[in-house]
Amino acid sequence: MFQLFRRVLSPELAGIFILLASCFPVLAQCDGVPTGRGMYGGVFGGGGSSNINSIDQMGTAYFLESDGGPLSVNAVGSSGNDGVGMVGLQIGHEWASSAPQGSWGLLPAVELEGMYLSGTQNGQLINDTNRLPEHVFDDSLPMDNIALLANGVVSLQTPLVNLYPYLGGGLGMTNVKIDGANSLQLDPAEPGVNHFNANPNSSALGLSAQFKAGFRLNLTERLYLFTEYRYLYVQSTTQTFGSTQYPGHAPTSPWTVQLKDMNYHLGVGGIGFDF
């Protein structure tokens, strides 16, 4: 292959080609031409807020015929903006810019990320029924979610050699895991009755997407800090909780709870290392 290049190219151009080829290894630099980060990894953490656009709780309360017979429940509501914390890991590869170091250029990268998010979603749900003047539930859903995403990222090389703004987006899956869910009936009031008491735990997978924007600051040739804003979207998941089983209380079917369009707004900071 090298002899073929020597026959096609002049000796001068062949010499330039060999010089540039010697600059290709990851993290090497030659005459001011950057090669990008190559392989990199990082750890990060942060927090913010999360909400669920719609929460639907469905089931059947088996009242006696003398009390009107079975009551179908389809209670609907949404959560507020509740606090959430997160930590995560990432590994990726960044390619070179064709522009010399110290000038404007683009550095494309791909990466894999795993995130753990913890928080509790709360919402009031109303079942619209003619049998009761009002039928209101107060749901508390403690979540420990794990998201796995594949991202595309583009960093902007600037004349500020150690500062790199970037944008990224990704697709993946999130395991929405709920432990210790509590569904209290506010009206008519039933103090101390968790309508999910037979099994307050559930989990389900949802498709996910994210957008992030931030910048990184090089501390050394290999070590850098980064900070960013992230938006994480989790598509609708369907959770199944246990039935209501209390002495003196009408038994129910297991409860189906649909969590529609979860949204996370996060501030993130981290540290990374070029391999």
Within a domain: 21: no
Q: How far apart are CA 118 and CA 179, in angstroms?
A: 11
0.85 exceeded by pTM: no
- Domain total in the chain: 1
Residue in 204, 193, 199 with CA at minimum distance from that of residue 247: 193
- Residue 54: which domain range? 38-274
Within a domain: 59: yes
Within a domain: 9: no
Q: How far apart are CA 260 and CA 251, in angstroms?
A: 27
Mean pLDDT by 10 residues, the chain (275 residues): 36 39 37 70 98 97 94 95 97 90 90 98 95 94 98 94 95 98 96 96 98 96 96 97 95 97 97 95
- With the CA atoms of 59, 62, 66 and 72 taken in that order, what torsion angle do they form, in degrees rounded to the nearest 10? 10
pLDDT, tens only, 223-238: 999 999 999 999 999 9
Show the CA angle centred on residue 111, arms to residues 105 and 112, nearest 5°: 165
Within a domain: 47: yes
Give the count of beta carbons closer than 10 Å to the beta carbon of residue 223: 11
Rounded to whole angstroms, the maximal C-alpha distance in the chain is: 101
pLDDT, tens only, 119-169: 999 999 999 999 989 999 999 999 999 999 999 999 999 888 899 999 999
- With the CA atoms of 61, 63, 69 and 71 taken in that order, what torsion angle do they form, in degrees rounded to the nearest 10? -20
Q: Is 17 left (phi over 0), alpha (psi -120 to 50) or beta?
A: alpha
Q: Helix or strand or coil: residue 67? A: helix
Within a domain: 25: no
